[in-house]
Structure 1
Amino acid sequence: MSELGDGEAGGGGAAAQHPTNAPARVRVTAPRAGVAGAPTRPLTQLSPVGPTSDIAGVYVRSLIRSQLRLAVVFAAGFVAATVLFVLVIVLVPGLDSSYVFGVPASWLLLGGGIYPLTITVAALYVRVASRNEARYRSLAEDA
């Protein structure tokens, strides 16, 4: 027989897959908030007790709030700028009739305006988010 044919190494019997001396598998999950019987404890009770853990929790929550605020501001700005591009194309009818190198000016405005806008917004977001994280790291190291 082949090496895998007798059920020892590759996938035959149940004994090969579940040895008798192995502990049973346990699924570890977090308790869901609002479910009957689920413990409701503040964040500080889940971490080791002490003043540094409280400060670390405050720093983490502050970082999360600042990153969320940053994402919302950049997303709203990007949507507003994109809507502005579309409104300019819709409200200025002469763009469709004027051509540059055989391409309608409205297409050039979209292609030459939206893609650089997207790249600029993404680069600025990454830069500011990295700055926020660096501030968090410096505060967390000091604590």
Structure 2
Amino acid sequence: MSEQQRVRVTGPPRRRRIPRGQSPGESDRLGEIYLGSLMRDQLVSAAITLVLLTLGIGSLPLVFWLFPGLASIAPLGVPLPWILLGVLVYPFLVLLGWLYVRRAERSEAAFAELNHKHDQAYPEDDE
């Protein structure tokens, strides 16, 4: 029998090789601007997600403190705080995570597209 070489798969194949220790776009000033834009967009995405998380889940104790009558509501015999914190919080977290990942992937795709266009327009910069 012939032996096959093992291949470790760590993610989708990349379009091009990047020199070790260098991220895409670090080779020139325009690349630095693209990279800064990507990092800024990622920071904004993280901040928006954090604000939504804080408003959505972090405000629940305040709501129950301001409106103590809500704690006595028991749909299907289960207290409302238990339903909110034990059941409904998880779909909310999954939705926030999905939206964050979707926005991050769009930002990275736009960054890769800009880098690709720049590399095609200025092929001599790759040396």
Which residue, out of 46, 58, 67, partners 2:42? Answer: 67
Write the mapping of 1:4-19 to structure 2, written as runs, cut at 5 A. none
- What percent of counterpart residues are identical? 34
4+ residue runs over 3 A deviation: none
Q: Which runs of 5+ in 1 are unaligned?
A: 1-46
Matched to 1:120, the amino acid is L
How many residue pairs get matched? 93
Secondary structure of 1:127's counterpart equals helix
Structure number with greater CO (CA < 8 Å, separation at least 6) is 2
Report the TM-score when normalising by structure 2: 0.63
Cα distance, 1:84 vs structure 2: 2.6
Over aligned residues, Cα RMSD in angstroms? Answer: 1.8
Q: Does 1:96 align with 2:71?
A: yes
Shift of 1:96: 2.8
- Relative distance call for 1:63 and 1:90 in structure 2 (3 A) is same
Structure 2 unaligned spans of 5+? 1-25, 119-127
- Normalised to the residue count of structure 1, the TM-score between the two structures is 0.57
More helix by share: 2
**Deviation of residue 66 (structure 1)?**
1.0
1:57 maps onto 2:46 in alignment: no
Larger Rg over CA atoms: 1
